Structure formats: structure tokens, C-alpha cells
């Protein structure tokens, strides 16, 4: 199945804004079959701006989780890569029941 890169980005942005899980979309992509890659500097700049806005959206969605983790571990500072140190009561394994 061929995927258009601009259409993939639009669908990803839509799923994130609708609070849907983007993993099924991302797992279904066959990257060698993606079409409509930027052909010139102007298209690449537009694509970079679009990716930056999606990255900003993702970081905004992570903010409540970061704030909660910081509140649970009040005496700590940020760790490597900008993330807070996890308190010992939080597990790194998150799951969902079906």
C-alpha cells in the first residue's frame, strides 16, 4: 500500500489531536513505499515546519505526565534527556487490559 507523506502527517496530527492512539497508524507504514517526499528546499522547509508542530503537540501532550512525575518526586531535578527521575513507586511498565 502506498502512503503519501503529507497525508501520513495529516493523519498523525489528527489522531494526536483527537487523543487517539497513533501506534496502529505508525505500525502500518511501510517506509520504502512512502511517496511524495520533498523534492526541493521549499518543500523540505514546509515539511520541517510541519514536523516541528507535531513534535510541539506531542511535548504538550506529555506535559501533564511530566508534571505528575515531578510532583511525586519533589526533591529531584531533571535527569538526562530532560526527563525527571522516576520515583521508586512508579514502574516503567505500562499496560492496558483488553
Give 73-89 pLDDT, tens digit per residue. 766 555 556 665 666 66
Interhelix angle 5-17/41-72, nearest 10 degrees: 30
Give 88-98 pLDDT, tens digit per residue. 665 555 555 54
Instruction: Say what the pTM is.
Output: 0.63
* Residue 63 included in any domain: no
* Residue 87 included in any domain: no
* Residue 16 included in any domain: yes
Domain count, the chain: 1
* Residue 14 included in any domain: yes
* Residue 15 included in any domain: yes
* Residue 79 included in any domain: no
8 Å CB contact between 72 and 51:
no
Distances (CA, A) of 30 to 2, 7, 12, 82: 8, 14, 15, 31
* Residue 4 included in any domain: yes
Instruction: Tell me the three cell numbers of residue 92.
Output: 516503567
Q: Tell me which residue range forms the domain holding 26.
A: 1-50
**Other residues' Cβ atoms within 10 Å of the Cβ of residue 16:** 16
Amino acid at each position: 500500500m502506498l502512503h503519501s507523506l503529507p497525508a501520513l502527517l495529516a493523519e498523525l496530527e489528527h489522531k494526536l489531536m483527537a487523543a487517539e492512539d497513533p501506534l496502529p497508524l505508525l505500525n502500518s507504514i511501510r517506509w520504502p513505499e512512502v511517496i511524495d517526499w520533498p523534492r526541493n528546499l521549499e518543500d523540505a522547509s514546509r515539511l520541517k515546519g510541519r514536523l516541528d508542530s507535531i513534535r510541539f503537540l506531542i511535548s504538550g501532550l506529555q506535559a501533564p505526565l511530566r508534571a505528575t512525575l515531578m510532583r511525586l518526586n519533589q526533591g529531584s531535578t531533571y535527569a538526562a534527556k530532560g526527563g525527571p527521575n522516576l520515583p521508586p513507586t512508579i514502574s516503567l511498565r505500562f499496560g492496558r487490559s483488553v
